[in-house]
Structure 1
Amino acid sequence: MFATASCSDYSDYNTVPEDALPTANNTLWQNISENEQLQDFTAIIAKAGYANTLSSSRFYTLWAPVDGTYDAQAVLSKDSAAIVREFIEHHMTDYNHPVTGEVNERIVSLNDKHHDFTNTSFDNVAIERANIASSNGVIHFINGRSMFYPNLYEEVDNLEGCDAFKNFIQKYDEYYLDVENSVIGPMVNGQQTYLDSVFKKRNNIISRILNAQLENEDSSYTMLYPTDVAWETAYSNISPNYNYIAKLDYMNIVGNATTAANLTATTAKNPEPVEIDAELYKDSLTKNSIVRYLAYSNTDERNNPIWSGELNSQIPDTLKSTTDGYITNVRDIFNHTVGDVQKSSNGYYRIIDSLCLKSWETYEPVRTYMNPIRVLGLRTNSNATKYNVVKNLLAGRDTLFEKVPVFIKKMLLPEQSQLFTYISTDAANFANTTARPELDFALRDVQSTKYHIFVVTVPAQVSDPYQPLKPTYLRFDMSYTDAAGTQRYQRLNVPGANRLTDDIIAEAGKLNVIELEFEFPVCYNGLSAFPTLFMSHTKTFGTSSNRNRYDQELRVAGIYLVPERAYEYMKNITE
């Protein structure tokens, strides 16, 4: 029976008891090189030039694979640096870790990989002999090797056929001094020196984009790595959404009292244009959009299918990315996986030949607006009032929503909320009887693409079913900038109507969904500049006749900008 060292205090943690076997007087290197079962391991250590480390005074625990239980020639075929990192230091850790009592540890080896260590195994490899004492450590003989896997960040360096993705990631690599694992030397001219400097690689930019620490061995993710074909196709599809211009003038009507009907393209021009490097923005945000939805945490149960490859009725076909994107087409990811799911030291990865994610779930989202940037027609300092109606109070009143498409209704009445919310220009706040209420919305972060604009108007009957039925007559205008940098201002209308003259009529007693269409020539995403949508009454209320015939108030439950591709999909959604 072999004597073992206790780890009850620092001394026991790093020394061998006096009654240990004669091997206790030898170094780790002597005990390895002189053991007939470890001659392959000896040759590997010799090739890597690691004998001096195993002869030093630093104390280690080493799990040594026995000859004939692994492919030693495959290890010897690698260069010295790879042998050290992937094999020798993969089977070593600092300090004394004997097999004594009940052992159930999570070991961090010298190459920062994590291993399960029990009384009988190391990474599920059986321990043949335990506690071979040495003067500078302890050896456990194991029947095979622990397989080395790069972590998901390291794996990027090994990818083949994914050069575009790899180049984008590696562009932001940086090396830093790992002070904790470096050997401190003397102070020279007031500066700390190191006898042995350990440098590691990190990538903070990518960590922020993905909201994931791919180099963290204690995390667990599944990554999607796009092939060059997948990257190039995605780039072509996404980049038109980011058509920026170098100098962007725009209208900013905050504090301006000119009504929409009297505005011109250059009224209320913002004093300072937004100036950027348009091509840099386009390229960076396109690549950001490709990468942003490629990481999935394995600790989130809804992501089990992406690494297990299994789907069943108990698991929804929806994934959640580390950037909080909800992805509903996991089966498409399966269909576009090249080869099998691959294992890494901190998760799994798939090589995909298509970025088969739905545009509206990723880079081209539906935009929602509720809070106006300006309200006109009300008393000084008055704003639109926000109302919350408990959804249960609307139960059974289906006629209110009969004109609302299903996909708009799902956004108006989300399952996770118990309230139906809208804003209103209350009549009590009108400046005078001739006032025409106006709500103007800054459409921040829109992209250079075509949108279907859905404005949801709310009748008085939502809050009071006994209010008289009155229609609302409306007009809509848009201020924007064209691709040449010229400010534009135009009236919008529903398809088929005369854009310049026809009023848009919101039917009485029902929620109306007014559909407009507009294609923005330039991208505003991420900028302080924005286009503005103007919504105003076309009727005055100076006469009792008009006040009796038309609804004076503007009530809006939301403005939804739905990109063309999302619209083509959503318009077919049924209950």
Structure 2
Amino acid sequence: MKSLTLNIRYGLLLLLIPFTLACTNNWDNHYSADPDVIPAQSLWESIGERPELLSDFAELLQLTAYDKVLDADQVYTIWAPANGHFNIDSLRALIDEGKKDQVIAEFVKNHIARFSHPVSSLTDKQVLLLSKKSERLRSGEAAASFLFGQTGILSKNILSSNGILHIIDRANPFFFNIYEYLKTDTELDSLTSFIYSFDKAVFDPLLSVPYGVVDGKTIYVDSVISIENELLEKIGLLNHEDSTYWLLAPSNSAWNQAYDSIRQYFKYDLKVAKADSLEQANTKMMMVRDLVFNAKLQSSPQDSLFSTQYQVLDKKYHVYHRPYEAGNIFSRTTEEVSCSNGVIFKSDDWFYRPEQNFYQEIKVEAERTTGRDYSSSLCDIMDRVVKPEDNYKISNKRYIHLMPAGTSRNPWVTFEIPNTLSAAYDIYCVFVPYKYYNPAHENVDKPVKLKFSLTYNDEKGNSRTIVCRDSAGSNIYETDPSKLDTVLVLSNYTFPVANYGQENNTVMLKLETSITSKETALYTREMLIDCICLKPHLN
């Protein structure tokens, strides 16, 4: 495995030139303003007055129009590298190539912070730069020495009307965060394109620098644009510097391999609007949502890794046991890229299994009124709650009690089942024994005899209904009144199309008692129903 520590993009490599600059108290006094007097000159003017030290930096500010920014009223602190301490030629070349925005983002803004940040022997703090990077500002080990990140401060606290200027002995290196690095690696184009497709540029007038008003509209010399990304807000803020993440990044070939295997779970019928787009969007969303791991929350990464989607209340999903063993997700990474907010692990393989991520159990609680229908069934439904002293393993501690309105009718109830995939499921219905409700009732030993029917859409979008049959081929089912009975309704049933994420649920399961008047002594028409469960059928 190769290990790569990335300091700065090719083209912004800083040329460190051996250089010693005498720094005496007289020199400091010559360039420092009287702290009791607010200087009239701006930061830009202060930089321009020191051509023997800062002419290269001043030229770069002019080429990027940041001379105007530093000549305005907003307060900044600048750490300006002295002449000969950075490669001005490579930066000029990038600007000539039309990459001025890159130079601004990765060099200019990496030496500027908002507000005043003077240094003293007591200084030790983190400073947020305009580049969104954070650097430590502190006093050094030697007497009267100060450090900005890993750079030494040659001259400090040069006051101006709109801030403070420090002169440093080298350029401050720019480290990519994970989000920034992705767009530099062509081997990760597929992943990068999907993540960046959620970018939304938002103008921030409060942080922008106004230059004047033209025709009643404010003109900004420095417009601050923030990038918001809805996807990263869900899977992990890879564009922020205040967290540490691990990203398992599939190469383009691994991405294509995963896409082809996962898309089959998101086939929609022909009547669904933009079915192809839904298939593509949902497939890619499922591919990325378990790629990010919060490094600070991994207590024993060799034993198990928890993605950012992991929920303590549902421990079956988004957890990857023994991730470094052969055949598991981190077993064949090809390269590690260290970034300012974590590590990227590149891989040419895709070892995620659907049942660890998106191919999940679907549970419909019977007491949930939404999607439940019994309107013409001539029955009553009561919501029952398990008593605190009863240790019954009933889902959500609640169930429904369906009671026929007459003695000769077979009542029924239908449940909508949301978010089914175009995949195979084992379908169960869980019945509560009558003794849990009333152990002294005459129905306590009577089973329920019933039948099930399943409604779904076919590939053309037409609704279909089938009569369910057990493994012996019978369409009649009986419950066991002695226990909480999980009845297998259908095994390995494959839905031809997905209903995932749709407002209208097209999958429904109907329960209807099937008891004749002569059978009422043997069976009960009252149904106590806990829930409907669809479990992925795994080969």
Distance 1:78 1:201 in 2: 27
Superposed, 1:343-422 pairs within 5 Å as 343-344=339-340, 346-371=341-366, 373-375=372-374, 382-390=380-388, 393-394=391-392, 420-422=397-399
Distance 1:294 1:471 in 2: 48
User: Closer, same or farther in 2 for the Cα pair 1:462/1:66, shift >3 Å?
Assistant: farther
Distance 1:67 1:184 in 2: 30
- Normalising by structure 1, we get a TM-score of 0.71
Task: Give secondary structure in 2 for the equivalent of 1:393.
Answer: coil
1:219-240, Cα deviation, whole Å (9 max, x unpaired): 5544333221222122112211
Maintained 8 Å contact 1:494/1:514: no
Superposed, 1:258-277 pairs within 5 Å as 275-277=272-274
1:329 equivalent to 2:302? Answer: no
1:493 equivalent to 2:469? Answer: yes
Maintained 8 Å contact 2:207/2:224: no
Q: How much does 1:477 deviate? A: 0.6
Superposed, 1:26-425 pairs within 5 Å as 27-30=45-48, 33-35=51-53, 43=56, 46=59, 49=62, 53=66, 57=71, 60-64=76-80, 72=87, 76=91, 79-80=94-95, 81=100, 82-100=102-120, 102-120=122-140, 122=147, 124-125=149-150, 127-129=152-154, 131-133=156-158, 135=160, 138-140=164-166, 142=168, 145-190=171-216, 192-198=217-223, 200=225, 202-207=227-232, 210=234, 212-218=236-242, 220-247=244-271, 275-297=272-294, 301-303=296-298, 310-311=301-302, 317-321=305-309, 326-329=317-320, 331=323, 332-344=328-340, 346-371=341-366, 373-375=372-374, 382-390=380-388, 393-394=391-392, 420-425=397-402
Q: How much does 1:329 deviate? A: 0.9
- Normalising by structure 2, we get a TM-score of 0.76
Task: Give secondary structure in 1 for the equivalent of 2:176.
Answer: coil
Q: How much does 1:369 deviate? A: 0.8
Maintained 8 Å contact 2:269/2:458: no
Distance 1:297 1:83 in 2: 31
User: Closer, same or farther in 2 for the Cα pair 1:376/1:182, shift >3 Å?
Assistant: closer
Distance 1:26 1:202 in 2: 28
Task: Give secondary structure in 1 for the equivalent of 2:256.
Answer: helix
Q: Percent identity?
A: 21
Q: How much does 1:30 deviate? A: 4.8
Q: Which of 485, 506, 528 is the aligned partner of 1:530? A: 506
1:210-262, Cα deviation, whole Å (9 max, x unpaired): 35544344455443332212221221122112211232xxxxxxxxxxxxxxx
1:17 equivalent to 2:15? Answer: no
User: Closer, same or farther in 2 for the Cα pair 1:164/1:441, shift >3 Å?
Assistant: same
Maintained 8 Å contact 1:106/1:114: yes
1:297-347, Cα deviation, whole Å (9 max, x unpaired): 45xx53466xxxx446xxx64333289994211613322433125223x44
Task: Give secondary structure in 2 for the equivalent of 1:329.
Answer: strand
| One-letter amino acid matched to 1:239 | R
| One-letter amino acid matched to 1:434 | S
| One-letter amino acid matched to 1:364 | Y
Q: How much does 1:135 deviate? A: 4.4
User: Closer, same or farther in 2 for the Cα pair 1:54/1:100, shift >3 Å?
Assistant: farther
Maintained 8 Å contact 2:64/2:104: no
Maintained 8 Å contact 1:370/1:558: yes
Q: How much does 1:485 deviate? A: 3.0
Task: Give secondary structure in 2 for the equivalent of 1:148.
Answer: coil
Aligned counterpart, 1:474 = 450
Maintained 8 Å contact 1:377/1:435: no
Distance 2:114 2:435 in 1: 74
User: Closer, same or farther in 2 for the Cα pair 1:558/1:389, shift >3 Å?
Assistant: farther
Q: How much does 1:503 deviate? A: 1.6
Task: Give secondary structure in 1 for the equivalent of 2:173.
Answer: coil
1:453 equivalent to 2:449? Answer: no
Maintained 8 Å contact 1:211/1:322: no
Maintained 8 Å contact 2:449/2:479: yes
| One-letter amino acid matched to 1:320 | T
Distance 2:64 2:462 in 1: 72
Q: How much does 1:555 deviate? A: 1.9
Distance 1:31 1:138 in 2: 14
Maintained 8 Å contact 1:212/1:322: no
Aligned counterpart, 1:503 = 476
Maintained 8 Å contact 1:386/1:423: yes
1:86-142, Cα deviation, whole Å (9 max, x unpaired): 234312224432113532333122323222222336564264545252546544455
User: Closer, same or farther in 2 for the Cα pair 1:392/1:74, shift >3 Å?
Assistant: farther
Maintained 8 Å contact 1:297/1:322: no
- Greater percentage in helix: 1
Distance 1:43 1:284 in 2: 48
Q: How much does 1:74 deviate? A: 9.7
1:158-214, Cα deviation, whole Å (9 max, x unpaired): 132122222223344444444234332444444x14152526363544346x35544
Aligned counterpart, 2:494 = 519
User: Closer, same or farther in 2 for the Cα pair 1:24/1:184, shift >3 Å?
Assistant: closer
Maintained 8 Å contact 1:244/1:282: yes
Maintained 8 Å contact 2:43/2:71: no
Task: Give secondary structure in 2 for the equivalent of 1:422.
Answer: strand
Distance 1:204 1:228 in 2: 22
User: Closer, same or farther in 2 for the Cα pair 1:16/1:241, shift >3 Å?
Assistant: farther
Superposition RMSD on alpha carbons, in Å? 3.9
Moved more, 521-530 or 117-126: 117-126
| One-letter amino acid matched to 1:421 | R
